[in-house]
Structure 1
Amino acid sequence: MTGTAGRVALVTGASSGIGAATARVLAERGMRVAVNYLSSGKAAEEVVADIEAAGGQAMAVQADVREVRAVENMVEQVRAAWGGVDVLVHNALIPYAVKSFQDMTWDELGGKLDAEMHAAFAVTKAVLPAMAAQRWGRIVYLGTGLSRRPREGMIALGTSKAALEQFARYLAQELGPQGITVNIVSPGPVESRTADAVFDDATKQRQVAATPLGRLAHPADVAQAVAFYAAEDNSFMTGTTAAVNGGMAMY
């Protein structure tokens, strides 16, 4: 991809996993990257150090993306250093319960829905004025294949991400005339510490067996799709969803 040099990207939840991989790829492509984290400051600084060692520019920025004031302060910190945010990658994972609907409380389901949408609302509101003023922007939300293909115990995550994906389509329609694209990257199962904590080996083997490409996604696979949407020359795709799942689900 060309023409991304100097653009400012904010990646939420970027101290590990998909977020860290995305921060590294965007930096490789010439963007200055703000690496957001909640509590893993040391890990975020390591991502920044990796980017700088490779010749890129990055800074770590702490904020709980569920808190409006914290998000506003974070975006102001980035603006003071580099100017407005050109590219938003909203990847931060809001905690959720893994259980059946019958065992779930409203606080567990409704709380996840509320926190998911509140975070997306807050970070988008904070970066939008600069994008609208320059009539250029890229917004990428991380979804999940579970929003279309249910799996046992994942109702809280799947339902909240389905809401996020529809929110993204409405934004794509509204913001298109201002030169701002809004897209979704929807990973299938990803090899990560989070996945290891949730799924046992038998489950992972079943997932691999159901994947034509014969493995689970790596964070870098997802990061490449995000970078595609974030690129300067990808100017005519908006309101779309990229499924990064090795063919496990085709739609």
Structure 2
Amino acid sequence: MEIKDQVVIVTGASRGLGTAIAKAFGSIGANVVVNYYQNRENAVQVAKSIGDHALPIGADVRDKQQVEKMVSQAKSHFGKPVTTVVNNALVNFRFDPVTRKDAFHIDWDDYQRQFEGSVQAALNTTQAVLADMKENRFGRIINIGTNLFQNPVVPYHDYTTGKAALLGFTRNMANELGQYGITVNMVSGGLLKTTDASSATTKEVFELIQSITPLRNVTSPEEVADVVLFFASKWGRAVTGQNLVVDGGLVMD
């Protein structure tokens, strides 16, 4: 299915990487749900920048009923089912190397919040769209990961562990859902320059990343968004269960 014919939900699309992904899909003509958790004003502006084929919908992706309602609204508004989900939302986390909790102070509750924001959210969105995807023999689930669990430049214990678990989720779902024409993949950027979530990242950390990255540059949200489009496009139709690292070569997997 061409991207212009798809109905795409991008979670956490009111800012940062989510906005870049939503705009990338919108620029090719896809019908885009700009999902947001709290920032409706930003989501509305993102949708307006895309045009008539974008719809802002508020939903906490950790809440199964809210996700199901969002999927139903999207189907009703666009007149066809959701074909593509990008699990991007980042709940209650900032990349702050100064105030992060270290190994002596991290709590299980911190891990639990990130598991809920990563794995539980992806489970909710996947299950909400699964019946239609199976019926239509087409679906694209694209999870946003991180290169930090392979190369923890800064040890964000809870966040990186949650994303590592999301990779396990990705591969198990890919194995089971492939028979229905559904692909499930992960796109993992590094610390992106610059989003709301990474705005607290110090200049020194970004300079370190740039100096040890083969392309000698810190990856941008737009560069990651381009790879998300690949997985949704016809060129990615034979790829599933993969984690593609998009970080200028910092992590070579």
Q: Find the residue that maps to 1:102 and give its secondary structure.
A: coil
TM-score, normalised to structure 2's length? 0.93
Residue identity matched to 1:135: R
Check the 8 A contact 1:96/1:108 in 2, yes or no: no
CA RMSD between the two structures: 1.5
TM-score, normalised to structure 1's length? 0.94
Superposed displacement of residue 116, structure 1: 2.3
Identity %: 35
Distance 1:146 1:187 in 2: 9
Distance 1:247 1:112, change over 3 A: same
Gaps of 5+ in 1: none
Superposed displacement of residue 233, structure 1: 4.0
Distance 1:114 1:58 in 2: 27
Residue identity matched to 2:204: A
Is the counterpart of residue 95 in structure 1 residue 92 in structure 2?
Answer: yes
Structure 1 segments of 4 or more deviating over 4 A?
none
Number of matched residues?
246
Gaps of 5+ in 2: 95-99
Question: Which of 153, 156, 168 pairs up with 1:166?
Answer: 168
Per-residue CA deviation, residues 134-188 of structure 1 (Å, 9 max, x unaligned), is 0101110000001222344311111100000110000001011100011100001
Distance 1:69 1:119, change over 3 A: same
Check the 8 A contact 1:22/1:226 in 2, yes or no: yes
Superposed displacement of residue 200, structure 1: 1.1
Q: Find the residue that maps to 1:59 and give its secondary structure.
A: strand
Question: Which of 46, 50, 74 pairs up with 2:70?
Answer: 74
Moved more, 109-118 or 199-208: 109-118
Q: Which residue of the partner structure matches residue 118 of structure 1?
A: 120
Q: Which residue of the partner structure matches residue 43 of structure 2?
A: 44
Check the 8 A contact 2:93/2:197 in 1, yes or no: no
Q: Which residue of the partner structure matches residue 28 of structure 2?
A: 29
1:184-195 counterparts in 2 under 5 A?
Answer: 184-191=186-193, 192-195=195-198
Distance 2:244 2:215 in 1: 16
1:200-215 counterparts in 2 under 5 A?
Answer: 200-215=202-217
Distance 2:148 2:235 in 1: 30
Distance 1:34 1:155 in 2: 31
Q: Which residue of the partner structure matches residue 238 of structure 1?
A: 240
